[in-house]
Amino acid sequence: MGVFFYMGISARERVTEVDLYSLIPSGSTAVFETNDLTTLIKEINNAICSKELSSLGLSRIANDLREHFDELTMSAPHGLSPRMNRMLISFHPPGTDLDQVLYFCTTPRDEEWIEQQIQKNRPIDFPLKTASYKGEEIQICPMGGDVFLCYYKSAGFVAASYSKRLIEQVIDTRISGKSVLSDPVFGLFRDHKSFNSIASLHLKMKQVGWSELNLKFGRDAVYLSGITMDADTSSSFVNALKEQSPIELISGKEFPRSTYYMNEMSISQFEYIAANSAQREYALALYSDDVKRTDIHIMRFLKRNASNRLAGISFYPEDSIRRPLSLLYIPVKDSVKAEKDLHMLIQNDILQTKIPAPHKAQLLFAGSKSYYLYSLPQNTVFSQLSGINDADLNSYAVFYKNLLLIAPEPVSILSYITQVEKAQVIEGNNIYQECISHLAPHSNYMLMANIGEVSLHSESRSRLIPDFFFQHIDFFSHFILSNQFVYKDGVIYPNLTLTYKENKSGAPQ
């Protein structure tokens, strides 16, 4: 009887093993995975931001699953099967809350149960429809209004989405075999499984390629830590990052209270950065060679005179939040010597290039004090080191205390000095202190950004904030992003924290 019973169960549960990643279209921008959906839902429900998840717009299909999860599990006699408890979600352009596909591995019994749940939750007046695509069937279930749940099932899996177009792409991927696994960098993760967690996110970033991040949900923050895999042709940012020395965090006493973006990096490899970053194409083709050469000269000047690090920040003037300001904050070893070196650099550069000569140093008045304002030859140093996308080739410099301040316009430097002199700084801000508490004291590179504020100013958007966050800005605008990169033994480890900023006093405006 035991053998008969076992054989009967085996026959019902026997299914084809399917690698769900082989179904994901290569154009996906992120892939979310969990091996324990039941525990994950519990963690999410304990987070403070879970109450707003249904309205934040990250993924409608994921929110619907979470909201109906208790009802679904109660209808399953023994809870979700081990195969159903594993789930993938792929994200696709243009990034609306409907542009996701949800994948489950299934047994025949699971597939019957899914059919029952869909039939139970659809409006009675609208029958289930079937569409044919390349010999495969797509089930289309009206969910009320103009929303339709489309799902595609075959031996061993089910893929569901609110977009029929994406289900068709899943079918195309299955037929062609050209899935996300075809990406040579993404494929590296299949051989690297040193990270384990309840959930993970594969995230595509312009500067560092694909990252595999483990997720952990806290009461008021989401923690993502993992590994970045890069191909043989790594970006200049990745290569430069590997050469940088670890740095300590800069104090919040150095930044205006209205700061909404900052990055911090080491000065150890400026010449390398200059040699690689100056290869960008610029509209001013006449000056391109001179601009590249000036970049290298300024980088060498910084390497000689800067202490050991710098920061790029974006902030607002005292009287407005409509116009963002930006500058480079660079501590120097000896401000007197550095100022002499800068003066010589400017004069020598003028004689050897076609770049129009800058004006002589002028006085910049901040309160009762005055500072020499230097107009630099056209260069891309500010853009490259600040991480700002579309900074102008013109820039200005001022020595303030033991700092060199560089900005694309004098008003940024003036506003910075005015706010710091008045002690209107971010140190002591509740949300800033909370974000700092999540960071490691040392890293090779650090970035902190109020994602909602950064999204308002596309002209100053950092290249190092994943596009995925801006594609789902309705969700991520509620968070402060803190991102640190650590390099160790030939591998780059990103560590991201998303701190929920709602209902916290003192949050940056």
Q: Per-residue pLDDT averaged across 203-216, rounded? A: 81
Does pLDDT of 342 surpass 80? yes
Distance from C-alpha of 246 to C-alpha of 265, rounded to nearest angstrom: 8
Q: Per-residue pLDDT averaged across 291-313, rounded? A: 86
Distance from C-alpha of 382 to C-alpha of 384, rounded to nearest angstrom: 6
Residue 162 is predicted with a pLDDT of: 93
Distance from C-alpha of 315 to C-alpha of 321, rounded to nearest angstrom: 9
Cβ(332)–Cβ(403) below 8 Å: yes
Does pLDDT of 125 surpass 70? no
Does pLDDT of 26 surpass 60? yes
Greater confidence (441 vs 151) lies with 151
Output the six-digit token pair for 451: 């994602």
DSSP at 155: T
Q: Per-residue pLDDT averaged across 202-216, rounded? A: 82
Cβ(398)–Cβ(374) below 8 Å: yes
Cβ(252)–Cβ(432) below 8 Å: yes
pLDDT band at 294 (very low <50, low <70, confident <90, very high): confident
Count of Cβ atoms closer than 10 Å to residue 49 Cβ: 21
Distance from C-alpha of 167 to C-alpha of 147, rounded to nearest angstrom: 15
Does pLDDT of 448 surpass 50? yes
The b/e string for 387-400 (b: 16+ C-beta within 10 A; e otherwise) is: bbeebebebbbbbb
Cβ(323)–Cβ(317) below 8 Å: yes
Share of the chain above pLDDT 70, in %: 75
Q: Please list the residues that pair with 309 across neighbouring strands.
A: 266
Q: Per-residue pLDDT averaged across 190-204, rounded? A: 73
Distance from C-alpha of 340 to C-alpha of 336, rounded to nearest angstrom: 7
Helix, strand or coil, per DSSP, at residue 396: strand
Q: Per-residue pLDDT averaged across 174-181, rounded? A: 93
pLDDT band at 255 (very low <50, low <70, confident <90, very high): very high
pLDDT band at 236 (very low <50, low <70, confident <90, very high): low
Residue 160 is predicted with a pLDDT of: 93
pLDDT band at 50 (very low <50, low <70, confident <90, very high): low
Q: Per-residue pLDDT averaged across 221-240, rounded? A: 70
Does pLDDT of 279 surpass 80? no
Greater confidence (287 vs 256) lies with 256
Range of weakest confidence among 116-125, 449-458, 467-476: 116-125
Q: Per-residue pLDDT averaged across 394-420, rounded? A: 93
Range of weakest confidence among 175-179, 398-402, 407-411, 440-444: 440-444
Residue 323 is predicted with a pLDDT of: 82
Residue 469 is predicted with a pLDDT of: 87
Q: Per-residue pLDDT averaged across 124-133, rounded? A: 78
pLDDT band at 2 (very low <50, low <70, confident <90, very high): very low
User: Per-residue pLDDT tens for 311-320?
Assistant: 989 999 988 7
Residue 286 is predicted with a pLDDT of: 40
Q: Which residues contact 82 (CB under 8 A, 6 or more apart)?
A: none
Does pLDDT of 280 surpass 50? no
Greater confidence (49 vs 367) lies with 367
Range of weakest confidence among 118-122, 249-253, 452-456, 467-471: 118-122
Range of weakest confidence among 340-344, 378-382, 462-466, 473-477: 462-466
User: Per-residue pLDDT tens for 95-118?
Assistant: 888 999 999 888 777 777 777 777
Average pLDDT, the chain: 79
Cβ(153)–Cβ(140) below 8 Å: no
Residue 135 is predicted with a pLDDT of: 93
Q: Per-residue pLDDT averaged across 7-32, rounded? A: 74
Share of the chain above pLDDT 90, in %: 26
Count of Cβ atoms closer than 10 Å to residue 59 Cβ: 23
Does pLDDT of 404 surpass 70? yes
Range of weakest confidence among 130-139, 329-338, 496-505: 496-505
Output the six-digit token pair for 183: 């990406």
Q: Which of 106-110, 323-327, 363-367, 428-432 has the highest mean pLDDT?
A: 323-327
